[in-house]
Amino acid sequence: MKAEKKLKINQRAWYKLDNAAKVFPGQNTSSYSNVYRLSVRLKEKVDPELLEKALEKTMPRFPSFDVRMRNGFFWHYLEKNPHGTLPVCPDSANPCLRVKWKENKGYLIRVFYYENKIAVEFYHVITDGFGASRFFMTLIAVYLRMTGKEIPCGDAVLDVDEKPTETEKEDAYLKFVESRAKAKRVEKFAYQAKDKRLPKHVTNVTTGYMPVDVVKAKAKEYGVTITEFIAGVLLWTMYNLQKQEEFNREKHVGIQIPVNVRQFFDTDTLRNFMLCYSFQIDPKMGEYTFPEILKQLSLYLRFINNEKTLQSMMKGNAGIEKNPLMRVIPSFLKDFGINVLYKFVGEKATSALISNIGVIKAPKEMEQYIEDMALVLCRGMVNAARCGAVSYNGILALSITNIYDSTRVQRELFTTLVKLGIPVRIESNRSAINGGEV
């Protein structure tokens, strides 16, 4: 392990927080962490010493990940971390806990191992799912090479001997804001599938593994994409749960879908570059069928999924950052205001969230060494289902993070998928909570 060294001021690389990241420090509490996790299960037991060496070799290729949080007077910023190699730790039963700036040598990512599993947790300040997948798959490739495997570069595996480009470190939001219009978001408070809350340090995660080709075929039957299909099943689940409740007040049922927008804009940034789409249905308008929910959700997403609408959404977000009043408010007051606002409004307009980072493409030579992959999101403030999806080597993993003791959301969702003809293999960290029942 390299010795820690203090960098001179003129040697310190630093980055402004990108437009999406500016709100995250104010949301960083014991109740809501904005941390998410990518994990793989290998076919061999993990050697932690080799993993640490692989991490040491990988990190210089990703300078915007090799950072710590610093508190400026008006805004937080990221600075090159001077504290040597990021430690590799045994895994925890409860993932995606809050990041504390002075722990973990100040790093904003965490690397874990357990038997044949490797997991990396990312604080959303530094990257989104796309950037995280590049770092993660590159690390796994470097580790496999150190165990004697021949793994080439390509797709999600970057060349660690290649110099990072400047565009990989850019704030693409500000680069592509050209619209003069600002998108307006007016949403009703939505239904929440509440129950007895788990302690703040406990996270209930259930993951279902499904064949990608079966899910894709089923989505095609309904004329929708895989993301639209999964989101529709989740929305249908929450809709039915509200109907089953004794005191049904028929609130709106809403879903939020973070989407990678690089498909519309020419950038290879490894920092955040995603936007959140929100969709609601109103049960007071009448009974909904599953195909009807899927159709309306799909039509809405395709209507807003265009360059002009996305730019207007970015313009609205950038307007907050550029507001003259916001610029002169000290960062600690910004954090306080964001924290209060998020507690009272943040998740109230959505019943659930689904983040699907899609198919992770990597060199075929890696496939024989990896059993499966998963994406786990942090627990929410009030949402009973924050779902992460990722596909690799023909398997789609759908993980549900729930802050409540009840498993009714997971049961309803995976039962619906099975009834639709999709085989699901279930795993859970439930054994660490109350005996392993799903």
Give the tens place of pLDDT for each residue, 213-259.
999 999 999 999 999 999 999 999 999 999 998 777 789 999 999 99
Does 12-158 match 204-434 in CATH topology? yes
Question: Cβ(368)–Cβ(38) under 8 Å?
Answer: no
CA distances, 322 to each of 127, 179, 247 (Å) = 21, 15, 44
Please report which confidence band the pLDDT of residue 182 belongs to, taking 50, 70 and 90 as the band edges: low
Please give the class, per CATH, of domain 12-158. Answer: alpha beta
Question: Cβ(273)–Cβ(128) under 8 Å?
Answer: yes
Residue 130 structure tokens: 């796309």
Please report which confidence band the pLDDT of residue 361 belongs to, taking 50, 70 and 90 as the band edges: very high
Give the tens place of pLDDT for each residue, 271-315.
999 999 999 999 999 999 999 999 999 999 999 988 888 888 887
Name residues whose C-beta falls within 8 Å of residue 216's C-beta, 6 or more positions apart in sequence: 226
Break the chain into its structural domains and give their ranges.
12-158, 204-434
Mean pLDDT within 394-416? 95
Among 157, 145, 147, smallest CA distance to 47 is for: 147
For the packed helices 48-58 and 129-146, what is the interaxial angle rounded to 10 degrees? 120
DSSP conformation class of 157: B
Look up the CATH number of domain 204-434: 3.30.559.30
What span, in angstroms and rounded, lies between the C-alpha atoms of 222 and 294? Answer: 8
